[in-house]
Amino acid sequence: MKIYDLLSSDSYEDKKLIEKLICIFENLEKKDLPNSFENIISAENIKKIDKVYNEIFYDKKPIEYALWFVEFDWRKYIVNENTIIPRQETNFMIKAVKDYLEIENDRIILLDIWAGCWVLALAVFEDFQEKIEKVILTDISQDALDVAKLNTEKNFKNDKNIELIESDLIKNISKSVFNEKVILVANLPYIPNKVFEENAEENTKKYEPSLAFLWWEDGLKLYREMFAQLIDMNPKNTIMFLEMMEEQIEILKQEYKSLKFEIVEQFNFGIRIVKVYL
Q: Mind giving me the DSSP string for 259-276? A: SEEEEEEEEGGGEEEEEE
Candidates 82, 88, 79; CA nearest to 151 is: 79
Cβ-Cβ contacts under 8 Å for 8 (sequence gap 6 or more): none
Question: From CA 94, how far away is CA 96, in angstroms rounded?
Answer: 6
What DSSP character marks residue 214?
B
User: Which pLDDT score is estimated for 207?
Assistant: 55
Q: Are the CB atoms for 77 and 150 separated by under 8 Å?
A: no
Cβ-Cβ contacts under 8 Å for 34 (sequence gap 6 or more): none
Helix axes 246-255, 221-233, angle to 10 degrees: 40
Domain boundaries, the chain: 3-59, 82-277
**pLDDT tens, N- to C-terminus, the chain (278 residues):** 999 999 999 999 999 999 999 999 999 999 999 999 999 999 999 999 999 999 999 999 999 999 998 887 778 889 988 888 787 788 899 999 999 999 999 999 999 998 888 888 888 998 999 999 999 999 998 998 999 889 888 888 767 789 999 999 999 999 999 999 999 999 888 776 666 565 666 666 565 555 544 545 678 989 999 999 999 999 999 999 999 989 999 999 999 998 999 999 988 878 899 999 88
Which pTM does this prediction carry? 0.83
User: Which pLDDT score is estimated for 111?
Assistant: 97
Question: From CA 149, how far away is CA 152, in angstroms rounded?
Answer: 5
User: Which pLDDT score is estimated for 87?
Assistant: 79
Q: Where are the alpha helices (DSSP H) in the chain?
A: 3-8, 15-25, 43-57, 63-67, 90-102, 119-127, 142-155, 193-199, 202-207, 221-233, 246-255
CATH fold of the domain at 82-277: Rossmann fold (3.40.50)
